[in-house]
């Protein structure tokens, strides 16, 4: 790192509390100061480049400094940057709400905007409880969650998350919510047996406690922070049937899986279902600006439509429906349409699968799997602090990877070329040998 980069790293450690980080560890490994970014590449102050193989925490779809998103933001800044969405409205928010409803599974015609994924989870949880309450069913105040699930780190979202690393310190603040078996097979378990057991557990819970369960919340097809655990669409299809039969809402957390990550625009499409709530964020603006959205149904919306203000959904964020963020999201949707991204990604995913072939032969790699534009595998004999050691060694070899425990995953921007993906695989193999 040049003096410029070292200086920015030093100043950052003095002033910035970095997320998801034990800051003391930076005594030995300071953060990498990035000077600029273009396409799938990050550049430090010395001119070294690094392939952004995790899309900057799963948000970047079409590369850094994307000219079409840049142009959309520049145009919007000349018209309107922000107004509050309480009592006012503006073109980007209206058009984005309409276009999201047209893209989403049928029946999700009402968009409530916020700023990040955890906020979207909070909104869906609150909406579900309040909806039932407005209908006279105040006893429905619990949420069924899946083992290994992750939905954010604010208090409500953390309450339906099942990743011990994030939950344990805050356990006294969290309400107990029932945990169900995950449909994702782990540690070599039979996938069909795991899925069947998960469905049996869901049915048993709903048969016994549907009067107190407001909603089931799931990450469709891929449990991200739980180790990129993948499962078949059959679970979603049957879960939708069971929740509908028992008057329980289904919340589909597509914060990570949405916008093409699993091979369809939304993962729910692969099960041909419509949830009661669809939570969206991350890729919605292509990695440019914070934005999230909860799409919901006429039925939920009508439960709040009344003369009594207290019966309304009195939840707000200052930057709800920010015009710049909405303009970026509209540019992202335009790129999906104009470039036929979903069809192109299906072909790209097939090529990625072939290019990842050398990983299968590595003696430490097990469980290589892929769902659309996400690939993951476990590393044998990972040892202590594996994720930190691997990330550091990968960075030295020009790739940005952040393992989850002993799980290494690839989730690069969709614009990565075949040569760049082959480079990622090659450098990953070198990293495996180094750690």
Predicted TM-score of the model (pTM) = 0.97
Under DSSP, the state recorded for 321 is T
Percent of the chain scored above 70 by pLDDT? 99
Average pLDDT on 65-71 reads: 98
Beta bridge partners of 51: 41, 399
Mean pLDDT taken over the chain: 97
Q: Give the pLDDT score at 1.
A: 47
- 334-369 confidence digits (pLDDT tens): 999 999 999 999 999 999 999 999 999 999 999 999
- Separation of alpha carbons 232 and 244, rounded Å: 20
- Separation of alpha carbons 227 and 259, rounded Å: 20
Write down all domains in the chain, each with its CATH number in brackets. Answer: 32-65+342-434 (3.90.1150.10), 70-338 (3.40.640.10)
Q: pLDDT category, 3, cuts 50, 70, 90?
A: low
- 257-295 confidence digits (pLDDT tens): 999 999 999 999 999 999 999 999 999 999 999 999 999
- Residue 263: strand, helix, or coil: coil
- 387-416 confidence digits (pLDDT tens): 999 999 999 999 999 999 999 999 999 999
Residue 31 CA from chain centroid, whole number: 23
Q: How far is CA 282 from CA 56, 67, 209, in A?
A: 10, 19, 33
State both tokens at 376.
């993951």
Q: Cβ(146)–Cβ(179) under 8 Å?
A: yes
Closest CA to 73 of 325, 332, 339, 415: 325
């Amino acid at each position: 790192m040049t003096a410029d980069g070292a200086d920015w790293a030093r100043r950052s450690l003095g002033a910035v509390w970095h997320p998801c980080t034990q800051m003391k560890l930076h005594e030995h490994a300071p953060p990498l100061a990035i000077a600029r970014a273009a396409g799938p590449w990050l550049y430090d102050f010395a001119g070294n480049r690094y392939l952004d193989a995790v899309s900057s925490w799963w948000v970047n779809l079409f590369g850094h400094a994307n000219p079409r998103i840049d142009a959309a933001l520049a145009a919007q800044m000349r018209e309107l940057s922000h107004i509050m969405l309480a009592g006012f409205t503006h073109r980007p928010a209206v058009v984005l709400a309409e276009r999201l409803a047209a893209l989403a599974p049928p029946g999700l015609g009402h968009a409530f905007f916020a700023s990040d994924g955890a906020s979207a989870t909070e909104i869906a949880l609150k909406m579900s409880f309040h909806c039932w309450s407005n209908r006279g069913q105040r006893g429905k105040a619990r949420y069924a969650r899946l083992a290994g699930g992750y939905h954010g780190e604010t208090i409500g979202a953390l309450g339906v998350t099942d990743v011990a690393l994030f939950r344990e310190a805050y356990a006294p603040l969290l309400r107990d919510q029932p945990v169900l078996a995950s449909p994702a097979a782990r540690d070599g378990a039979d996938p069909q047996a795991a899925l069947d057991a998960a469905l049996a557990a869901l049915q048993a819970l709903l048969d016994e406690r549907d009067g107190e369960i407001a909603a089931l919340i799931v990450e469709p097809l891929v449990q991200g922070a739980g180790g990129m655990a993948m499962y078949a669409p059959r679970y979603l299809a049957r879960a939708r049937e069971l929740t509908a039969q028992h008057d329980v809402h289904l919340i589909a957390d597509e914060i990570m899986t949405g916008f093409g990550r699993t091979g369809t625009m939304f993962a729910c499409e692969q099960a041909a279902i419509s949830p009661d709530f669809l939570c969206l964020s991350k890729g919605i603006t292509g990695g440019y600006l914070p934005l999230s959205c909860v799409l919901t149904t006429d039925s939920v919306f009508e439960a709040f439509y009344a003369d009594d203000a207290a019966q309304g959904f009195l939840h707000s964020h200052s930057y709800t429906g920010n015009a710049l963020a909405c303009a970026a999201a509209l540019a992202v949707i335009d790129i999906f349409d104009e470039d036929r991204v979903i069809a192109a990604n299906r072909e790209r995913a097939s090529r990625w699968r072939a290019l990842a072939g050398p990983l299968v032969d590595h003696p430490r790699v097990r469980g290589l799997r892929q769902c659309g534009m996400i690939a993951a595998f476990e590393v044998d004999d990972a040892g202590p602090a594996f994720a930190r050691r691997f990330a550091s060694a990968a960075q030295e070899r020009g790739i940005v990877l952040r393992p989850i425990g002993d799980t290494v995953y690839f989730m690069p921007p969709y614009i990565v070329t075949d040569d760049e993906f082959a480079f990622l695989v090659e450098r990953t193999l070198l990293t495996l040998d180094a750690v």
